C-alpha cells in the first residue's frame, strides 16, 4: 500500500491525525463528563465511540487503523495490569479462580445454546451463540479496578486469574465449535491447543519471574536509554505474538509478560512509562468498542426484545456461574467476582464476527451479540463501583497478600 | 475495511503484533549495537529498517499502518522537543534562524535545478528535484541533540527556529512548483498559504504560552486522571491537524503545541509521560525511513554515481547555505548548524513521491532522491556527535538562555 502524502499536503488535512484527534478528544471529554456525574469514565469512552461512530454522527468508522490502535491499547492495558500483579498471590487463589472460570464458561454456553435453539436457530448457530457468551473481556474490569486502586483486593486477583483461565477455556470452546461448524472435530488438534496454551501459561506464571530476575542484571549493562522500559515493551510484544501463535488472545500474553516483570519493575520507572503509553492508547480500545455498534439494526421491535433477553441471559449466567463458585468467600466477594466477569466487550464481538464470516451466524444474531457485548460492558463498571469500597482496599494492604504496590494509579477512575 | 479476527485466531499469529514486535526489537537491537560502537543509535534504527525491509530480508513492508505509527512517532518527538524549548529563547535567535533557513532553501533549490537540467531532465523535473532538496527533516537532528542533552545550546535553538521557517518556505516552494507543473501559477492561493502559515506560527509562538498559562488552572479542576498529560496530547493532536489544514507539516504544529506548553510542563509529569509515549513510537519513524529504501534499483553503476553526486550536492548546499548564514557565530557553530540542517529524511522522500505521483519525476530521479534523503539522514548524526561537546552544554546552562530544563533526557543517545 502506498502511504499517503501527508507531511506536505497542499490539498488539505491529514485524515489520520484528524481521526486520532477526534477519537482521543471525544473519549476524554466524555470521560470527564462521566467523572462529574460520578460514573465510571470507561463507560463514557465507549459511549463516545457510539456517538462519533456509524450509529450517530458518522465521523469515524472502525478501520484497520482504529482496530490496530485499539489492539495496542488493550495489550498495553493488560501489560500494565500484569506489572501490578504478583504471580504467587495469583496462585494462592488459583483453585477458586479455576472454579470461577469453569462455571462462568459452562453456564453461559448452555444458556446461549438453548436460547438460540428455542428461538429457531439451527444447531450450528446455537452452539456458536453459546460460544459468543463464554469469553469475558477482562480489559474493562481491569481498567475499572485499577482506576479504583483495587487490583490488589482478593476478589480482583480471583477475577484476573479466572480471566486468564477463561481465555484458555474460551479458546478451546471456539476450536470445538469451529470444528463442528466445519463438519469434523479434530480431537488431536484441540488437545494439542489445550496442552500448549496451559503449558505456556503455567510456565510463564511459575518460572517467568525467576528468569526475568536472573536476566535483569544484563539489562543494567545495556547502553540504550530506558533499558527496562524498552526491554519490557519487547517482552510484552513478544509474549503477545507468542500467545497468538498458540491460539490464545494476545492480551493474555501481555498480561503474563507484565506479571513476569512485576517484581523487577518496582525499582524502575518502567511502570510509570508503560502507564503513560497505555493512557495514550487505551481510549482507542474503548472508543473502538463503541465504533462497532450499529444502532440502525434496532428499528425492529422484536430485535430489541430478543437482544434484551440475550443480554439478561449473559448477565445472569456469569453472575450465577462465577458468583456461585465464589460463594464460599461471602456474598459480597461473590457479587464482585460475578460482575467483574460479566463484560463480553471486544471478545464477544470477535467471536460473532467469526461466526458471521463462516456463514454460521445470521446477521440478526450477529447484531444481537454485539448489543449484548456492549451492554454487558456498559453495565459492569457502575456496578463494580458500587460493590467495591474501602473495606476491600484495607484487605489489600495486609502484608500477607504480597502484592506489588503500584507507583501511581493507572487512572483516577 | 473489516478488521481481521485477531483476538481469537485459531489460524495462527497476529500479523499486526508480529510487525510491531519485529520493528521495535530490530530497532532497539540495532540501536544497542550502535551505542556500543559509539555511533548514534538513530543511525542504527534507520539501518534496521533497511535490513528488515524490502531491500534485504523482506520481513516488513512500509504499509498504511507502519506509516501511521511513523507519523505518530515523529509528531510526538517534535512535541516533546517543543516542551523543552522556550519561545522567548527561540525568538532571540529569530533573525539568524531566518537567515539560515532562507540560505538553506535557496542554495539547494538552485543547485538541484541545475543538476537535473544538465543531466537531461526537463524544466518541470528540474524544479521538482530542486524542491526535493529544500526541506530539512528536523526529527533526526532533534533526536540526536536531545539525546546529547544539547537542545538548549544556542546553535540547537537556531536549528529548531530555522527548521520551522524552513518548513514554511518549503511549503511555499512546493506550492509554486506544483502550480508550475500543473501549468498555471495561482499567485493568490500561494500568498494566502504564506500569510496563513506565517500567521499561525507567529500567533502560537508569541501568545501561545500566555494563553496556555491562563488556561492551566482549569486543567487543575478536571476530574479525569493525568489532566495535564491528556490536555497536552489533545493540544498536540489538535495543532498537528490545524497545521495540515493550513498546508504545513503536522510536526510543526506538534512542535508549536509543545513550545506553548513548555512553561507549565515544568511542574507536571507531562514531560516524562510524553517522553515515554515518544520512546515507544519514535522507532517506528526511524525504521519507517529505512523501510522506504529499495536498494535493488542501484544495480546500475551510473545510477549509483548520479545518486552520490546528488547526495554531495545536498550536503554541500545546506552546509554552505546554512553555514554561511551562521558564520558570524564562529566556524564551530556554523558547522553545527550546517550539519544539523542537512538531513532530508522523510520530507525529501514525500516530495519525491508527490513528483512521482504527478508524473513529473521519473522513477530513476525518485530513487536518487530517496537515496539522497536517507544518505543525508545517516551522515548527519555522527557528524553532530563530533561537533558538539561539553563547551556547548556549558553555554546552555547560563541563566541568560532561559531554557526550560528537561526533567530527564529524551534518550541516552
Residues in A touching B13 (Cβ below 8 Å): 241, 244-245
Residues in A touching B273 (Cβ below 8 Å): 272, 276, 279
Using CB atoms, which residue from A71, A280, A353 is nearest to B233?
A: A280
**Is there a contact between A250 and B62 if contact means CB atoms under 8 Å apart?**
no
**Is there a contact between B241 and A8 if contact means CB atoms under 8 Å apart?**
no
At residue B175, the pLDDT reads 82
At residue B397, the pLDDT reads 42
Tell me how many residue pairs between chain A and chain B have CB atoms under 8 A apart.
233
Residues in B touching A226 (Cβ below 8 Å): 276, 279, 411-412
Interface test with A, best of B272, B276, B408, B410 (most A CBs within 10 A): B276
Residue A3 lies in a domain: no
**Is there a contact between B6 and A244 if contact means CB atoms under 8 Å apart?**
yes
Residue A257 lies in a domain: yes
CA distance B346 to chain A (A): 8
Using CB atoms, which residue from B224, B226, B229 is nearest to A35?
A: B224
Q: What is the DSSP letter of B148?
A: T
User: Residue B362: left (phi > 0), alpha (psi -120 to 50), or beta?
Assistant: beta
Number of compact structural domains in chain B: 1
Question: How many whole angstroms separate alpha carbon A356 and alpha carbon A341?
Answer: 25
Question: How many whole angstroms separate alpha carbon A195 and alpha carbon A211?
Answer: 22
Using CB atoms, which residue from A147, A233, A244 is nearest to B280?
A: A233
Listed as ranges, residues in chain B with pLDDT below 50 are 1-12, 397-413
Residue A9 lies in a domain: no
Cβ partners under 8 Å of residue A351, min gap 6: A128, A131, A132, A134, A135, A174, A369, B8
CATH number for the domain spanning B328: value is 1.20.1530.20
CA distance B327 to chain A (A): 30
**Is there a contact between A72 and B31 if contact means CB atoms under 8 Å apart?**
no
Using CB atoms, which residue from A13, A135, A250 is nearest to B244?
A: A13
Which residue range forms the structural domain that includes residue A71?
A: 21-393
Grid look-up 489532566 returns B227
Using CB atoms, which residue from A5, A222, A357 is nearest to B32?
A: A222
Question: How many whole angstroms separate alpha carbon B83 and alpha carbon B257?
Answer: 8
Residues in A touching B174 (Cβ below 8 Å): 8, 10
Angle between helices B154-182 and B250-265 (to 10 degrees): 150
Q: Which of B318, B326, B278, B8 is nearest to B139 (CA)?
A: B278
At residue A1, the pLDDT reads 32
Grid look-up 549493562 returns A221
CA distance B115 to chain A (A): 23
Residues in A touching B241 (Cβ below 8 Å): 13-14, 17-18, 21
Residues in B touching A175 (Cβ below 8 Å): 10
Residue A398 lies in a domain: no
Residues in A touching B411 (Cβ below 8 Å): 224-226
B225 with A411: CB under 8 angstroms? yes
Residue A265 lies in a domain: yes
Element (H, E) at B381: helix B363-387
A306 with A368: CB under 8 angstroms? yes
**Is there a contact between B17 and A250 if contact means CB atoms under 8 Å apart?**
yes
A31 with A271: CB under 8 angstroms? no
CA distance A116 to chain B (A): 22
Residues in A touching B6 (Cβ below 8 Å): 71, 244, 250, 350
**Is there a contact between B413 and A225 if contact means CB atoms under 8 Å apart?**
yes
DSSP line for A26-54 = HHHHHHHHHHHTTS-HHHHHHHHHHHHST
**Is there a contact between B411 and A226 if contact means CB atoms under 8 Å apart?**
yes
Residue B21 lies in a domain: no
**Is there a contact between B412 and A224 if contact means CB atoms under 8 Å apart?**
yes
CA distance B332 to chain A (A): 28
Using CB atoms, which residue from B234, B276, B353 is nearest to A5?
A: B353
Using CB atoms, which residue from B9, B233, B245 is nearest to A244?
A: B9
Q: Which of A100, A91, A159, A157 is nearest to A396 (CA)?
A: A157
**Is there a contact between A7 and B226 if contact means CB atoms under 8 Å apart?**
no
**Is there a contact between A412 and B357 if contact means CB atoms under 8 Å apart?**
no
Listed as ranges, residues in chain A with pLDDT below 70 are 1-13, 394-413
Using CB atoms, which residue from A10, A193, A240 is nearest to B174?
A: A10
Cell triple for A352: 460473532
At residue A53, the pLDDT reads 93
Residue A413 lies in a domain: no
Interface test with A, best of B8, B27, B83, B286 (most A CBs within 10 A): B8
**Is there a contact between A223 and B8 if contact means CB atoms under 8 Å apart?**
no
Grid look-up 466524555 returns A30
Q: How many CB atoms lie within 10 A of CB A324?
A: 16
A331 phi/psi in degrees, rounded to 5:
-65, -40
Using CB atoms, which residue from B4, B72, B350 is nearest to A8?
A: B350
Residue B208 lies in a domain: yes
Amino acid at each position: 500500500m502506498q502511504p499517503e502524502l501527508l507531511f506536505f499536503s497542499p490539498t488539505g488535512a491529514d485524515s489520520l491525525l484528524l481521526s486520532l484527534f477526534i477519537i482521543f478528544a471525544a473519549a476524554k471529554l466524555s470521560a470527564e463528563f462521566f467523572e462529574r456525574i460520578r460514573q465510571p469514565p470507561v463507560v463514557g469512552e465507549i459511549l463516545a465511540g457510539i456517538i462519533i461512530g456509524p450509529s450517530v454522527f458518522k465521523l469515524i468508522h472502525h478501520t484497520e487503523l482504529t482496530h490496530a490502535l485499539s489492539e495496542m491499547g488493550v495489550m498495553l492495558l493488560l501489560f500494565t495490569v500484569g506489572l501490578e500483579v504478583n504471580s504467587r498471590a495469583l496462585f494462592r487463589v488459583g483453585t477458586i479462580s479455576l472454579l470461577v472460570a469453569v462455571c462462568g464458561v459452562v453456564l453461559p454456553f448452555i444458556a446461549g445454546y438453548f436460547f438460540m435453539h428455542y428461538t429457531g436457530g439451527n444447531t450450528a448457530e446455537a452452539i456458536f451463540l453459546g460460544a459468543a457468551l463464554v469469553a469475558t473481556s477482562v480489559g474493562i474490569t481491569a481498567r475499572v479496578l485499577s482506576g479504583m486502586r483495587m487490583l490488589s483486593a482478593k476478589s480482583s486477583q480471583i477475577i484476573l486469574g479466572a480471566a486468564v483461565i477463561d481465555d484458555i477455556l474460551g479458546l478451546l470452546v471456539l476450536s470445538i465449535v469451529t470444528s463442528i461448524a466445519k463438519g469434523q472435530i479434530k480431537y488431536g488438534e484441540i488437545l494439542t491447543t489445550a496442552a500448549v496454551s496451559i503449558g505456556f501459561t503455567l510456565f510463564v506464571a511459575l518460572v517467568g519471574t525467576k528468569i526475568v530476575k536472573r536476566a535483569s542484571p544484563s539489562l543494567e549493562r545495556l547502553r540504550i536509554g530506558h533499558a527496562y522500559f524498552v526491554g519490557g515493551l519487547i517482552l510484552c510484544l513478544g509474549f503477545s505474538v507468542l500467545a497468538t501463535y498458540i491460539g490464545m488472545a494476545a492480551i493474555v500474553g501481555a498480561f503474563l509478560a507484565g506479571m513476569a516483570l512485576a517484581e523487577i519493575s518496582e525499582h524502575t520507572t518502567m511502570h510509570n512509562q508503560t502507564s503513560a503509553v497505555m493512557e495514550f492508547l487505551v481510549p482507542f480500545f474503548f472508543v473502538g468498542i463503541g465504533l462497532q455498534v450499529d444502532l440502525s439494526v434496532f428499528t425492529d421491535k422484536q430485535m430489541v426484545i430478543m437482544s434484551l433477553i440475550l443480554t439478561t441471559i449473559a448477565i445472569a449466567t456469569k453472575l450465577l456461574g462465577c458468583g456461585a463458585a465464589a460463594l464460599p468467600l461471602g456474598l459480597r466477594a461473590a457479587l464482585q467476582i460475578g460482575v467483574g466477569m460479566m463484560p463480553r466487550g471486544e471478545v464477544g464481538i470477535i467471536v460473532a464476527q467469526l461466526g458471521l464470516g463462516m456463514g454460521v451466524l445470521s446477521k440478526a444474531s450477529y447484531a444481537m451479540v454485539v448489543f449484548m457485548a456492549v451492554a454487558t460492558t456498559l453495565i459492569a463498571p457502575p456496578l463494580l463501583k458500587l460493590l467495591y469500597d474501602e473495606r476491600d482496599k484495607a484487605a489489600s494492604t495486609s502484608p500477607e497478600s504480597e502484592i506489588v504496590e503500584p507507583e501511581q494509579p493507572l487512572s483516577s477512575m
